Amino acid sequence: MKDQLQITLDSCDIFASLDVANKERLKLLFRPRSFHNNEVIFLKGDPGLGLYLIHSGRAKICVVDREGKELIFTFLVKGDLLGELAIFDGKPRSATAIAMEDTDTLYLDRQDLLEFLGTSPQACMDIINMLCQRLRRLSGQLEEISFLDVAGRIAKNLMAMAKIDTQVKESPERVTCSITQEELARVIGASREMVNKILNSFVDMHLISIARKKLIILNSNELSRIANYDGDN
């Protein structure tokens, strides 16, 4: 049976396509690092000395302004990478990463990774593809802010979060979104009051239910229509 490290590598989009020999080489380079709920993994401006592969748990990528206002770029789960941008340009971290629950990661030193990539052109191409996907998601976020109303942005983010949770929890009986109203407000750039008002309207329309701080999707088709969601961003 494959060990847990192998399973985590297989769930990561840039490492899953590597052949067995390269995966075995890569496994020897990772070191375990664990973080508690709300613990900072790295701060914006920190040196980019390595990347983190999430083994279990959940993290967010965000920036915080001088007044303490937080803007969340994305949520990351098992198989996702943290801090890969600084690996290649050698510049400081462009954002802050924070564990959203107790989170186990696998740390890979920058120099070790660069030496490995020097012997694996396919891994280089996979990383380029992943970075392009990140740029597409960022472009989609900017488009949402520019063209979608708040209800549309909320619906789209609920659908995206439900997709993530479905990937993490194998065959869940109910599709839930592991995100609080405050976090959702930070993601879409709206007030918590506005988010609360729209979520309550979604409850009245029987699109979602809210129980024990979990958002449960009841009508994904209608949410998709509101979001004009295509599933590719």
Domain holding 186: CATH number? 1.10.10.10
Q: What stretch of H or E contains 121?
A: helix 121-147
Long-range contacts of 131-134 (CB under 8 A, 24+ apart): 131/84, 131/85, 133/13
Phi-psi sector, 183: left (phi>0), alpha (psi -120 to 50), beta: alpha
In a domain, 222, yes or no: yes
Report the pLDDT value the prediction gives residue 230, as an integer from 0 to 100: 47
| End-to-end Cα spacing for the chain | 34
CATH number of residue 49's parent domain: 2.60.120.10
- pLDDT per residue of the chain (233 residues) written in tens, 0 to 9: 346 777 777 778 777 777 788 888 888 899 999 999 999 999 999 999 999 999 999 899 998 877 777 888 888 888 888 988 877 788 899 899 999 999 999 999 999 988 888 887 877 887 777 778 777 776 766 665 554 678 888 888 888 777 665 554 444 445 677 777 888 888 887 788 888 888 888 888 888 888 776 788 888 888 888 877 544 44
**100 with 175, same domain?**
no
In a domain, 233, yes or no: no
**201 with 136, same domain?**
no
**135 with 152, same domain?**
no
Q: Count CB-CB contacts under 10 A for residue 88.
A: 17
**106 with 159, same domain?**
no
In a domain, 153, yes or no: yes
In a domain, 232, yes or no: no
